[in-house]
A and B are shown apart, each in its own frame.
Chain A
Amino acid sequence: MAILEGKKAIIIGDRDGIPGPAIAECVQTAGAEVVFSSTECFV
C-alpha cells in the first residue's frame, strides 16, 4: 500500500539538508496533499 497517496503531508526540511520546497515537489508527485512545508536552520 502506498504511504503517501491520499495523505496530508507535513514537510520539515533543513537548510543544510533538503529544503522544504524541494521535498514538496517530490511529495506532490506521489499523490499527497502538502498541508505544511517549513525549512529549519541550525546556523
Chain B
Amino acid sequence: MDLENQKRVKDFADEYGAENLVVVLGAAEGEAAGLAAETVTAGDPTFAGPLTGVQLGLTVYHVCEPEMKEEFDEAVYDEQVSMMEMVLDVDDIVSEMSSIRDEFCKYL
C-alpha cells in the first residue's frame, strides 16, 4: 500500500480509535486485496511503510464482498460498481479477504 495512505490510516486509527474504523478496498485482484488487508490488520508485509510492525487489526472489506453489498443502497451499487463484478475474480477476492479477516481482524 502506498506509503502516504499507510500514514493516513495510522493517523485515523490514533484519532478515532481502531474499533471505529472500517477500511473498504477496491483492488483489482485477490492477492492485491489481501496484501492491502494485511497491511491494515497485521502490518505492512513489505516492511516499507509506517504500518510496518503495527497491528491495527482494522475491520476491512472489499467493496464487492456480499457483506458490503448487503448494506449498500442497491441502485447506487448497481450504478457505481456492479459492472466490475463481470471483470474481477470476486470469488478469489472473497477468499483472500476472509482468510485475512479471520486471522487478523480484532473488531469483528
Contacts and interface: CB of A to CB of B under 8 A. Distances in A.
> Within 8 Å by CB, do A and B touch in the complex?
yes
Interface of A: 2-5, 7-14, 16-20, 22-23, 25-27, 29-32, 35-36, 38-40, 42
A18 B84 CA distance: 7
B108 to A, nearest CB: 9
Interface of B is mostly: mixed
Given A17-B84, A22-B81, A23-B81, A3 B26 contact: no
14 contacts: A7-B22, A9-B22, A10-B8, A11-B26, A12-B26, A13-B26, A14-B27, A17-B26, A18-B81, A22-B80, A25-B80, A26-B63, A30-B72, A36-B8
A17 B23 CA distance: 16
Interface of A is mostly: mixed
A12 B1 contact: yes
A25 B8 contact: no
Interface of B: 1-2, 5, 8-9, 12, 16, 20-29, 32, 36, 40, 58-59, 61, 63-64, 67-68, 71-73, 76-77, 79-81, 84, 88
